[in-house]
C-alpha cells in the first residue's frame, strides 16, 4: 500500500507513539504496523478499530460461573448494545466492511454474541432488504429489527432435511379467499430444527417454506414470520427447547406450525414471483428448484462472515498461545517458545492463519464490489467457508494443546473459540456438502475461480505444483484418492481453495511494505509446502514430486520454520487483540502473577 510523503511522516509519528506506549523498539513497532495493514486489509483505522472499541466497551466478564441460558440471554443484551453504538441493524447489514468487522471482533472478545449475528444481520435483515419489495409491512419488520428489540433468526433446516433444501416440506399454502398464506408443518420430519428461538425474546424470523398455490407446488421461498412478540409466541406456532449442545451458548429449539396466517407482503419473492388478484401465480424463474437457490444466492455474505469469524477466533487463540509460550519455563530453563518443536507448531499455525486471513480478505473484497457477478461470489463463498473454518479448527486445536491444561479453562478462551469454530463448520451449509457442491460447480458450469496470481518476484518450483494439481483435477485426470464422484468434487474444491489461499497470501506479501514482505513470503512458502506434503501421494504418483524435490521440501520447511520463529511475537501483535477484553490469565504480561491475583495470594 503506497503512502505519500506526508502520510509517511504521520505514520512514522504514530509508530513512535505506539512503540513508546508498548515498550517496543521503533523498528519492531513499524513491522507490527505493516503486518497489521495486511491482516486487516488496510481497514484497521477506518473500520476495525471502531468496532473493536465498541465490542470491548461491553463490560465483558468471565463466563465461567454463568449458566448457558444466562450466557445466551447475555448475547442478546450485547446485540442491543452493539446496534445502539454502531447504528441501526439495517445500516450495519448493508455496510459489509462494518458487518464483517463485527463478526471478527465478536468472535475474538464477545463469543456469546456470535450465535446471534448471522441470523439477525445477514439472514433476516439482509433477506428483507434484498428479497423484499419495500412494502409498509416489511419496513415495519425492519424497524423492529433495527434496535434489536426483536432478534432476527432464519428457519431453514428441518428435522428430516438439511442441505437438501428443495425437498423440505414446511408449507405456505395460498388461501385465495382470504388473500393470505397458511404456514403449516405437514408431518414430524418437516419441523424446523435447531434455530435459536427457545428464549422468550421477541423474534422476527425468516422461514423457508414450500409455496403451494391452488394445489400446485411452486418451490421453496422465504417468508417473514413474527414468531415471538412482546406478548409471547404467535398463535399457531409451537416451540420446544432442545438439549444443550457442546458449542457456544444457544437457545436451540424445534418449531412446528399449524395454520399460521401470513399476509401477502410476508412473502420474500425477490421481485421474481407474484400472485395476481385472480390467484394466478407467475415467476420469472421457470425451474422450481432454482427459485430458492436464486433467493439464497443473495445471502451468501453470511458464509464468508461466519467462517472469517472463526479465523478471527483462531488468530486470538494463536496470540494467547504465543504469549503463554514466551513466559512458560520448561525443563532445564528455556522458555517454551525457545523449544524448536513448539516454535515449529506455532509458525505452522501462523502460516495457516495468515493464508486463511488473506483468502478471507480477498473474498470480502469481492463481495464488497458491485461489479462481481453474484454467481462468482456464490462459488467463492462455497470454496472459502470450508477452508477458513477447517483451518481455524486445526490452528485452535494445536494452540489449545500447546497450552496444556491451561487451554481447558473457559477463562483462557479456547473452549469458546473451538465452539464458535465448530458452529461455523456446520452453519449455513455443512463443510463437506459445500466442498462437493463447489467442486461440481467448478466442473459443470462456466464459473471459474479467480485467475491465478502471477508473482513479480522469484517463482519457486513448489508454487507451480498447486496449479498443476488444480488443473489436473479440473480436467478429470485420474484422481487416485477419490472413492467416487462426490470425493472427486471435494478434491477439486480443496485444491482450488488451497491455491486461492496461497495466491492471496503471496499477493499480499508482494504488496506489503518492505519490512513485512520477507516474513509474509516465508509464511506463504510454509503454507504451500505443507499443503504439498499433505498431498504427497498425489504429487508423487503424477510425477511432480521426485525424491530430490521431496528432500528439498523438507529442508526448506525446516529453514523457514527456524527463520520465522523469531517473528512470532510481531506476527501475533499485528492481530491488535485487546488484552484487557480477552481477560485470559495466560495471555497477561505475567501469567503466574495473574493466577496468584485470582487466588488472592498477592
Q: Which of 420, 307, 364, 318 is nearest to 42 (CA)?
A: 364
Give the H or E element holding residue 259. Answer: strand 252-263
3-state secondary structure of 279: coil
- What is the predicted pLDDT for the residue at 62? 59
What is the band of 485 on the pLDDT scale with cuts at 50, 70, 90? confident
Model confidence at 60, in pLDDT bands (50, 70, 90)? low
Q: And the C-alpha cell for 50?
A: 471502531
pLDDT in the model for residue 51: 97
Indicate the pLDDT class of residue 451, thresholds 50, 70 and 90: low
pLDDT band for 25, please (50, 70, 90 cuts). confident
Asked whether residue 188 carries a pLDDT value surpassing 80, the answer given is yes
**How many other C-beta atoms can be found within 10 angstroms of the C-beta atom of residue 573?**
21
Regarding predicted confidence, which is higher, 483 or 228? Answer: 228
C-alpha–C-alpha distance, residues 583 and 573, integer Å = 16
d(CA 174, CA 267): 11
Could you give the dihedral angle defined by the CA atoms of residues 86, 367, 442 and 451, in that order, rounded to the nearest 10 degrees?
-130
Q: What is the pTM of this model?
A: 0.92
Q: Specify the pLDDT at position 350.
A: 98
Residue 9 pLDDT: 46
Looking at residue 371, its pLDDT comes to 86
User: Tens digits of per-residue pLDDT, 112-143?
Assistant: 999 999 999 999 999 999 999 999 999 999 99
Give dist(CA 599, CA 72) in Å, integer: 28
Given this model, what pLDDT does residue 449 score?
56
Distance CA 594, CA 602 (A): 10
Beta-carbon neighbour count of residue 343 at 10 Å? Answer: 20
Mean pLDDT of 88-97: 96
Pairwise CA distance, residues 414 & 431, whole Å? 22
Strand partners, 261: 182
Confidence bin at 309 (pLDDT 50/70/90):
very high
Q: Is the pLDDT of residue 24 over 70?
A: no
Asked whether the predicted pLDDT for residue 19 surpasses 80, the reply is: no
Inform me whether the pLDDT recorded for 407 exceeds 80. Answer: yes
Distances (CA, A) of 357 to 8, 352, 414, 434, 457: 26, 9, 19, 19, 22
Residues 286-302 have a mean pLDDT of 82
What mean pLDDT is reported for the chain? Answer: 90
In the chain, what percentage of residues exceed pLDDT 90? Answer: 77
Cα distance between residue 107 and residue 343, in whole Å: 25
Mean pLDDT, range 16-44, rounded to an integer: 81
pLDDT in tens, 504-529: 999 999 999 988 999 999 999 999 99
Q: Taking residues 210-226, report their average pLDDT.
A: 95
- Judge contact between 148 and 137, C-beta under 8 A: no
Instruction: Report whether pLDDT(447) > 60.
Output: no
Residue 8: per-residue pLDDT: 47
The string of pLDDT tens digits covering residues 413-444 is 999 999 999 999 998 889 999 999 999 999 87
pLDDT at 164: 76
Cβ contact 99:301 at 8 Å: yes
Which range among 218-222, 328-332, 580-584 shows the weakest confidence by mean pLDDT?
580-584
Distance between CA atoms of residues 522 and 519, nearest Å: 5
Please state, in angstroms and as integers, the Cα–Cα distance from residue 414 to each residue in 50, 248, 385, following that order. Answer: 25, 12, 21
pLDDT digits (tens, 9 = 90+) for 143-176: 999 999 999 999 999 999 877 777 899 999 999 9
Backbone angles phi, psi at 206, to 5 degrees: -115, 120
Q: Mind listing the pLDDT tens digit for each residue in 199-215?
A: 999 999 999 999 999 99
Cell of 14: 504514530
pLDDT of 14 > 50? The answer is no
Q: Which of 56-60, 235-239, 368-372 has the lowest mean pLDDT?
A: 56-60
- Output the pLDDT for position 460: 82
Looking at per-residue pLDDT, the higher value among 162 and 448 belongs to 162
DSSP H or E run through 84: helix 68-86
With b for 16 or more beta-carbon neighbours within 10 A and e for fewer, the 432-442 pattern comes to: ebbbbbbbbbb
224 beta partners: 206
Give dist(CA 271, CA 238) in Å, integer.
31
| Among 500, 514, 515, CA closest to 466 | 500
Residues 554, 549: Cα–Cα separation, whole Å = 9
Coil, helix or strand at residue 274? strand
| Terminal Cα distance for the chain, rounded | 48
The pLDDT tens digits of the residues spanning 337-365 come to 999 999 999 999 999 999 999 999 999 99
Give yes or no for residue 42 having a pLDDT over 80: yes
Q: Does the pLDDT of residue 384 top 70, yes or no?
A: yes
Confidence at 95, pLDDT banded by 50, 70, 90:
very high
Amino acid at each position: 500500500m503506497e503512502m505519500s510523503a506526508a502520510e509517511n511522516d504521520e505514520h512514522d509519528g504514530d509508530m513512535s507513539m505506539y512503540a513508546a506506549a508498548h515498550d517496543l523498539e521503533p523498528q519492531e513497532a513499524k513491522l507490527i504496523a505493516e503486518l497489521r495493514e495486511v491482516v486487516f486489509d488496510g481497514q484497521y483505522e477506518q473500520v476495525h478499530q471502531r468496532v473493536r472499541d465498541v465490542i470491548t466497551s461491553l463490560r465483558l466478564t468471565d463466563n465461567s460461573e454463568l449458566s448457558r441460558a444466562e450466557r445466551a440471554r447475555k448475547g442478546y443484551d450485547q446485540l442491543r448494545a452493539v446496534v445502539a453504538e454502531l447504528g441501526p441493524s439495517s445500516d450495519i447489514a448493508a455496510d459489509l466492511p462494518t458487518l464483517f468487522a463485527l463478526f471478527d471482533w465478536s468472535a475474538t472478545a464477545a463469543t456469546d454474541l456470535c450465535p446471534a449475528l448471522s441470523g439477525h444481520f445477514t439472514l433476516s435483515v439482509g433477506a428483507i432488504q434484498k428479497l423484499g419489495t419495500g412494502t409498509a409491512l416489511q419496513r415495519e419488520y425492519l424497524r423492529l429489527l433495527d434496535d434489536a428489540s426483536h432478534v432476527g433468526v432464519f428457519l431453514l433446516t428441518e428435522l428430516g432435511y438439511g442441505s437438501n433444501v428443495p425437498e423440505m416440506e414446511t408449507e405456505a399454502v395460498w388461501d385465495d379467499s382470504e388473500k393470505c398464506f397458511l404456514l403449516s408443518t405437514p408431518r414430524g420430519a418437516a419441523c424446523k430444527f435447531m434455530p435459536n428461538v427457545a428464549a422468550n425474546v421477541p423474534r422476527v424470523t425468516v422461514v423457508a417454506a414450500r409455496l403451494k398455490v391452488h394445489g400446485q407446488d411452486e418451490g421453496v421461498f422465504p417468508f417473514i414470520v413474527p414468531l415471538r412478540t412482546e406478548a409471547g409466541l404467535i398463535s399457531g406456532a409451537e416451540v420446544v427447547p432442545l438439549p444443550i449442545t457442546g458449542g457456544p451458548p444457544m437457545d436451540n429449539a424445534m418449531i412446528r406450525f399449524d395454520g399460521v396466517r401470513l399476509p401477502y407482503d410476508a412473502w420474500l419473492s425477490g421481485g421474481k414471483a407474484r400472485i395476481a388478484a385472480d390467484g394466478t401465480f407467475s415467476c420469472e424463474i421457470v425451474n422450481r428448484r432454482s427459485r430458492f437457490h436464486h433467493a439464497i444466492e443473495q445471502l451468501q455474505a453470511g458464509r464468508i462472515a461466519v467462517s472469517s469469524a472463526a479465523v478471527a477466533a483462531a488468530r486470538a487463540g494463536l496470540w494467547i498461545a504465543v504469549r503463554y509460550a514466551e513466559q512458560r519455563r520448561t525443563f532445564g530453563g528455556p522458555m517454551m517458545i525457545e523449544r524448536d518443536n513448539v516454535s515449529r507448531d506455532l509458525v505452522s499455525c501462523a502460516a495457516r492463519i495468515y493464508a486463511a486471513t488473506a483468502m478471507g480478505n480477498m473474498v470480502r473484497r469481492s463481495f464488497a464490489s458491485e461489479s462481481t457477478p453474484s454467481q462468482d461470489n456464490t462459488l467463492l463463498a462455497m470454496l472459502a467457508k470450508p477452508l477458513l473454518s477447517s483451518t481455524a479448527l486445526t490452528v485452535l486445536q494445536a494452540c489449545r494443546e500447546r497450552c496444556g491444561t491451561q487451554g481447558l479453562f473457559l477463562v483462557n478462551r479456547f473452549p469458546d473459540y473451538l465452539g464458535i469454530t465448530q458452529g461455523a463448520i456446520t452453519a449455513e451449509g455443512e463443510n463437506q456438502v459445500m466442498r462437493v457442491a463447489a467442486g461440481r460447480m467448478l466442473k459443470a458450469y462456466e464459473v471459474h475461480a479467480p485467475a491465478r496470481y502471477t508473482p513479480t518476484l522469484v517463482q519457486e518450483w513448489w508454487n507451480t505444483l498447486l496449479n498443476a494439481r488444480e488443473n489436473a483435477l479440473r480436467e478429470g485426470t485420474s484422481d487416485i484418492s477419490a472413492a467416487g464422484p462426490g470425493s472427486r468434487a471435494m478434491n477439486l474444491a480443496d485444491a482450488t481453495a488451497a491455491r486461492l489461499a496461497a495466491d492471496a497470501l503471496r499477493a499480499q506479501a508482494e504488496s506489503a511494505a518492505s519490512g513485512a514482505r520477507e516474513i509474509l513470503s516465508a509464511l506463504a512458502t510454509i503454507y504451500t509446502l505443507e499443503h504439498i506434503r499433505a498431498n504427497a501421494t498425489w504429487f508423487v504418483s503424477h510425477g511432480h514430486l521426485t525424491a530430490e524435490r521431496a528432500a528439498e521440501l523438507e529442508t526448506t520447511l525446516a529453514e523457514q520454520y527456524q527463520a520465522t520463529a523469531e517473528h512470532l511475537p510481531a506476527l501475533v501483535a499485528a492481530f491488535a487483540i485487546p488484552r484487557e477484553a480477552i481477560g485470559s490469565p495466560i495471555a497477561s504480561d505475567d501469567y503466574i502473577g495473574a493466577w496468584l491475583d485470582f487466588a488472592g495470594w498477592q
